[in-house]
Amino acid sequence: MTQVLTPPKLRLLRVALDSKKSELIHEWLNTEDTDDSTPEAVDGCCRERKRGGAEIELLTRKAVLLGEIVEALRRFASGSYGLCTQCGSPISFRRLSDSPWEARCVACKDLKADTANAIMAQSAYAQPGGAV
Ligand SMILES: [Zn+2]
């Protein structure tokens, strides 16, 4: 395993991770605030309705992203940041600049995306309620 990222690049990515993490937490808190201040939110039933569909999907996506960022920060601490968690190959700086929380190289990511799409296509009809 070779670490291709130079200390200045690592610093840049670390800053990007930290700011994205703060941004997500900030957005999350603001979402809660907005809901409480709208008149519809007083009614529990409408609040539930507001939380349905697209918004839940968005919150879930943000939660997943936040989890990936926390994992990336953990890899920073352990010294394995920038290496694919699956095959150990170095992840390119360009790829990490786009998504500093990236845990896999292009090859492994594509493989995982294909598998995830297949699973999602199957479970979309199997679980209409989306109970987790
Ligand atoms: Zn890989």
pTM over 0.95: no
3-state DSSP helix/strand/coil % of the chain, to nearest 5: 70, 0, 25
**Is residue 110 scored above 80 in pLDDT?**
yes
CA of 92 to the centre of ligand 1 (A): 11
The residue range of the domain holding 80 is: 7-126
Those residues whose C-beta lies under 8 Å from the C-beta of residue 67, and which sit 6 or more positions away, are none
pLDDT at residue 56 above 70? yes
Tally helices (H) and strands (E) across the chain.
5, 0
DSSP 59: H
Q: Across residues 80-107, what is the average pLDDT?
A: 95
In a domain, 131, yes or no: no
Cα 13 to averaged position of ligand 1 atoms, centre (Å): 19
Confidence band, pLDDT 50/70/90 cuts, at residue 39: low
Reduced to 3 states, what is the DSSP secondary structure of residue 83?
Answer: strand
Percentage of the chain with pLDDT > 90? 53
Answer yes or no: is 132 within a domain: no
pLDDT at 1 over 50: no
Split into its structural domains, the chain has a count of 1
97 belongs to a structural domain: yes
**pLDDT band (50, 70, 90) for residue 113:** confident
d(Cα 9, Cα 15) in Å, to the nearest integer? 10
Domain contains 2: no
Going from the Cα of 108 to the center of ligand 1, the distance in angstroms, rounded, reads: 4
Q: What is the CATH number of the domain that holds 90?
A: 1.20.120.910
pLDDT of 86 over the 70 cut: yes
Cβ–Cβ under 8 Å, residues 21 and 27: no
Query: How many whole angstroms from 73 Cα to the centroid of ligand 1?
Result: 19
CA of 71 to the centre of ligand 1 (A): 16
> At residue 17, does pLDDT exceed 60?
yes
Span from the CA of 106 to the centroid of ligand 1 (angstroms): 7
